[in-house]
Chains A and B, each alone.
Chain A
Amino acid sequence: MSLWRMILTNLRRHRVRTAIGATGIALGVATMLSVVALLGGAVSMFERILRTDAQMVVFERNVSDLFFSNVPVELVDELKAQPFVSGAQPMLFTIIGAPGRPVITCFGIQETDGRLKRGTWLSGAPADFRNGEQVVVLGERAASFLKAEAGGTVALGLGNYRVAGVVRMENGFENGGVFMPLDTCQRMFHKDGVCSVVSVALAEGRQASEVKDWINTHHERLTAMENDEFSRSYSQFRILKTTAWVVGGCAFLLGGLSVTNTMILSVFGRIKELAIARVCGFSRGQVARMILGESLLISGIGTVAGWAMSWGGLHLLRAVPQLQGYIEPKIGWMEVAAATAAAILTAVIGALYPAWYAARLKPAEALRFE
Chain B
Amino acid sequence: MMSETTPQVIVRDVWKSFDGGRIEVLKGVTLEVADGEVLALCGTSGCGKSTLLNVISGLEEVDRGMVRVAGHDVVRETTRVNLLRHHIGYVFQMHHLMPDLTLAENCMVPVIAAGGSRKDGMARLAELAAATGIGPRLHQRVRELSGGERQRGALVRSLMNDPELLLCDEPTGALDESNRERVFELLLELVRSRGRTLIMASHDQELAARCDRVVRMRDGRIETDAG
Contacts and interface: CB of A to CB of B under 8 A. Distances in A.
A pairs with B: yes
Nearest to A2: B112
Interface in B3-60: 54, 57, 59-60
Contacts of B101: 9
A286 B113 contact: yes
B105 A279 contact: no
A108 B105 CA distance: 73
A282 interface: yes
Interface stretch (B84-92, B129-137, B192-200, B214-222): B84-92
A1 B110 contact: no
Nearest to B86: A281
A118 B161 CA distance: 76
B123 interface: no
B64 interface: no
B109 A280 contact: yes
A276 to B, nearest CB: 5
B183 interface: no
Contacts of B209: none
Contact of B59 (A5, A9, A286, A364): A364
Contacts of A364: 54, 59-60
Nearest to A4: B112
B113 A281 contact: yes
Nearest to B161: A281
A17 interface: no
Contacts of B84: 278-281
Question: Quick one: which of B97, B104, B112 has the most chain A CB within 10 A?
Answer: B112
Contacts of A2: 112, 118
Contacts, number: 64
A340 B81 CA distance: 36
A276 B96 contact: yes
Contact of A281 (B60, B85, B96, B97): B85
A277 B118 contact: no
Given A280-B113, A280-B157, A1 B92 contact: no
B225 interface: no
Nearest to B160: A280
Nearest to A277: B109
Contacts of B92: 367
Contacts of B157: 280
A13 interface: yes
Nearest to A290: B112
Interface in B111-156: 111-114, 118
B98 to A, nearest CB: 5
Interface residues of A, number: 23
Nearest to B84: A281
Interface residues of B, number: 29
B176 interface: no
A363 B100 contact: no
B168 interface: no
A284 interface: yes
A367 B113 contact: no
Secondary structure at the A interface, as helix, strand, loop or mixed, is helix
Nearest to B59: A364
B156 to A, nearest CB: 12
A273 B98 CA distance: 6
Contacts of B104: 1
A6 B90 contact: no
Interface string A1-38: 11101100100010000000000000000000000000
Contacts of B206: none
Contacts of B161: 281
Contacts of B114: 281
Question: Quick one: which of B92, B104, B109, B157 has the most chain A CB within 10 A?
Answer: B109
A3 B118 CA distance: 11
B108 A363 contact: no
A280 B109 CA distance: 7
A364 B54 CA distance: 7
A278 B60 CA distance: 12
Contact of B113 (A5, A9, A277, A362): A277
Contacts of B118: 1-2
Contacts of B113: 277, 280-283, 286
A265 B135 CA distance: 34
Given A281-B81, A283-B81, A9 B105 contact: yes
Question: Quick one: which of B77, B101, B113 has the most chain A CB within 10 A?
Answer: B113
24 contacts: A1-B105, A1-B108, A1-B109, A1-B112, A2-B112, A3-B112, A13-B100, A272-B96, A276-B96, A276-B98, A276-B109, A279-B57, A280-B113, A281-B81, A281-B86, A281-B110, A281-B161, A283-B78, A283-B81, A283-B113, A284-B77, A363-B59, A364-B54, A367-B92
Given A1-B108, A9-B101, A281-B113, 7 more contacts: A1-B104, A2-B118, A279-B57, A279-B96, A282-B81, A363-B59, A367-B59
Interface of A: 1-3, 5-6, 9, 13, 272-273, 276-284, 286, 362-364, 367
